[in-house]
Every structure is written in structure tokens, then in C-alpha cells.
Amino acid sequence: MKKVLLTILTLSSLLIASAQSDLYNKGLLNSGNGIRPIYTAIPSLSIAPDARAGGMGDIGASTSPDLNSQYWNPAKYPQMQSNGGLAFSYTPWLKNLVSDINMFYLVGFWQFAPKQALSASLKYFSLGDVQYRANPDDPGVNVRPNEFSVDLAYSRLLAECWSAAVALRYVHSDLSGGVSTEMTAGNAVAADIAVYYLQPLRCGAGSDLSLGIDISNIGSKISFDDGNTKDFLPTNFRLGLAFGYKFDDYNKLTFMGEINKLLVPCQYEVVSTPRGDSVAVMNQQKYNDISPIAGIFKSFGDAPGGFKEELREIIWSLGLEYSYQDQFFARCGYFHESEYKGNRKYFTFGAGFKLNIFELQAAYVMAQGNNNPLDKTLRFTLGFDMAGLKTMVSNKRAQ
């Protein structure tokens, strides 16, 4: 049973990491050719949950404030025009491979004071039905492995254009479905810190420049075997810049770019062989002994390939959003990850419609490569302005 459970765990991680599976199939994941992706537990924490950002190359740190800012940069909430809202997102994940892996995301915020806001979200990732067998003759048992995270954030406007936020998160992962005592459910806690800057520009009424920084999942390690081994959460640094130009009272175009880097140490180290050669090998014991905070600092200079390989660890995205009367939206973007670190490369497209109290967003992924399992991924987001809804109900009652 233990062997089967570990196999399922590995396969689940590969599915979530998506494009890395193609590298496994080709036998390319080894230290000799420089293909050394960074592994983390709970990779579902790194999946973009909402359709707006999903339509712009998975960019969200510096974009204009919206209901789903909790995942990307919760510091944006104090600069929202509304003082409360709720959104729900749904993503059928890796639909080209399986039909029952899904992600659900629920988020809400409340500006309880002119310069302060509270926000919270729930992210649930289901790996579908999996059959566990102790041996080939075992009839097996069907379970539904899953992961979820719950977080709460406090954000505050520090100056006219600056705001900051702190978020706390609880993470739970049960990949055995509770059927095994050899593989236990994992639990972890983490925190995010974020900063957001939004500056109106004189080049056009409604034009603006924004900057966003978010460091997410700073926290404990997680274990699936009662603490014998511990894995890193996907601690991530995100930096984004956006420029929005409003041509007239109706039309606005926003250009944006973002970089991401996992703040997780590399599992490989350079050693000398008896022949005098230098090779990169995996040292699991040393890797397990690194603390989460030490791992953050170590991640900036531990790549076996030196500075060149450190640059390969940086993921970059470009995005474009067109809006008409702030009601109709068209979006596109591009996401790029080095082929040596995961090989996720895809174009994204999206559209949105927003009324006073209601909004609907959709996004679509067109991946590079014929065998990329991310291809044709869809995201949907439904949002509500709760403050606007409350005002509408009050007005009707007054009538």
C-alpha cells in the first residue's frame, strides 16, 4: 500500500505541475542536461484561481483592484471603489488528461473603515476519483484526494497612493483520502506580505501607473509521514508593473508585466566525481534539513548552474486589457517558464462583462506544444458588489 500511495502522490504532483509531465515522459529530468525544476508540496497553491488574471498571462500583482485581489495582492482592497464584494471561480483543471480534477475558489472583502479592509478566501482543489490497491489482486477502494487552503488578510492605506497587507493562511492536503496510516494528511500555516502603489497620471483623465509586490506562502513545511520528511510550500516572490492609458471617457488600454520566482532552495548540489568531473546530484537529507526561512535566502544563489541558472528560475508574463466604459473587457497575455524549470509556456485570452452589482469573467489557455496538458484550460468567475446590492435592496424598500 505504501508504494502505491507514494506513486499516486508523485503522479498527482506531476499532474498539478502540468507541463513538467512531458519532461518526465521524455526522460529529460536529470542533472546532466541542466533540467532541474524546483519541487514543492501543495503546488495547487500556485495555480491562478480567477478568470480575469487567467486571461492576462496569470498577472495580478499590479493590475487595478478587483474582487480576486486576495490571491494576487490583498493590499489592493483599500483602493477598491466599492466597500464590499464576493466572487466565485471555477476551473476544470487539466481537462485534456482527466475529466474530474477541479478547482473552486471563493473570496470576499469588506472595507470596514475608510482606509482599512478585511478579506478572506477558500481555495479547494479536488484530484477526482482515485482507486487505491495494496496489490494487483486487491479490488481496491475509491477515494477523493483533495487539498484546500483558507486565508484571512488585513490591508490598510498607508498614504494617498500606497497600501499594504498581511495575510495568514492554513493549508490542508489529504492525498490518500484517509485510507492509509502510512501516508497522513499534511497541515501547514503560512503568511503573505504585500504592497501596492497606484498613481493617477496627467497624460489622460483616468490613466494610471501601478506597482505591486507580493511575497506569498511564507511559513512552515508540510509532512505526509508524521514528520519524518518535510517539504517546502511554494513560497513565491511576485513583482508587477502596469500602465493604463485612457483614450477618452469610454476606452482604456492597460499594459502590464510581471515576474515570479519561487523562494525555495534547489534540491541539487555540485559534487566532484572520482574522475575529477563536477556533477549536480540530489541530496535529499540536506534538503530536508533546510528551514523555511533559510530556504528563502538560499534560493537566490544555490543553483548548480550559477547565475545563468538562477535567471532561468524567473517566470515572466505579459498582459493586455482593453475596457469599454469599465463594463466590457477583452484580454490577452503570455506566460513563460524556462524549459529547464518546468516548461510552462502558453498564451491566454479572456473577456468580461460588468454591471453595477454583477460581473462575469472567462479565460482560455492556448498552450505551446502539442502535448501540453494546460491547453484549452478554461476559467470562470462570477462576482457581486455586495455594497451595491445592499443599496439596491434599500432603494426598493424605500419605494
- Dist CA 317 CA 346 (whole Å): 10
Beta strands 251-262 and 84-92 are unpaired
CA max distance for the chain:
88
Average pLDDT rounded to a whole number, residues 254-263? 96
Q: Which residues of 42-65 are buried (b: 16+ CB within 10 A; e: fewer)?
A: bbbbbbbbbbbbbbbbbbbbbbbb
Nearest to 91 by CA among 68, 61, 118: 68
AA identity, residue 161: C
Kindly report, residue by residue over 346-367, the tens digit of the pLDDT.
Answer: 999 999 999 888 999 999 999 8
Helices (H), the chain: 2-16, 20-25, 51-54, 69-72, 284-289, 292-298, 307-312, 386-398
pLDDT top residue among 36 and 157: 157
Distance (Å, whole) CA 245 – CA 208 = 7
* Mean pLDDT to the nearest integer, 372-387: 86
> Among residues of the chain, what percentage have pLDDT more than 70?
80
d(CA 258, CA 217): 18
Question: Is pLDDT of 173 > 80?
Answer: yes
Q: Hey, which bits of the chain come out as E strands?
A: 84-92, 102-113, 116-126, 130-132, 141-143, 146-157, 162-174, 186-200, 208-219, 236-246, 251-262, 268-272, 278-282, 314-324, 328-336, 345-354, 358-367, 378-384
Residue 13 has pLDDT above 50, yes or no: no
**Has residue 77 got a pLDDT over 90?**
yes
pLDDT score of 188 more than 90 = yes
Read off the DSSP letter of residue 97.
T
Spatial distance between the Cα atoms of 228 and 69, rounded to a whole number of angstroms:
36
Pairing of strands 186-200, 162-174: antiparallel
Q: How far apart are CA 137 and CA 133, in angstroms?
A: 8
- Closest Cα partner for 84 from 71, 65, 103? 65
Q: Is the pLDDT of residue 5 over 50?
A: no
What domains does the chain contain, in order, with CATH numbers? Answer: 2-398 (2.40.160.40)
- pLDDT tens-place string over residues 221-245: 998 887 788 889 999 999 999 999 9
- pLDDT tens digits for 277-294? 555 565 667 777 888 999
Entry field: residues in the chain: 399
The yes-or-no verdict on residue 81 having pLDDT over 70 is yes
Q: What is the pLDDT of residue 355?
A: 85
The answer to whether residue 149 scores a pLDDT higher than 60 is yes
The closest of 108, 234, 216 to 169, measured between CA atoms, is 216
Burial bucket for residue 259 (CB in 10 Å: 0-12, 13-18, 19+)? middle
Could you give the dihedral angle defined by the CA atoms of residues 262, 267, 270 and 271, in that order, rounded to the nearest 10 degrees? 170
Q: Categorise residue 226: left if φ over 0, alpha if ψ from -120 to 50, beta otherwise.
A: left
Task: Look up residue 320 and give its three cell numbers.
Answer: 493586455
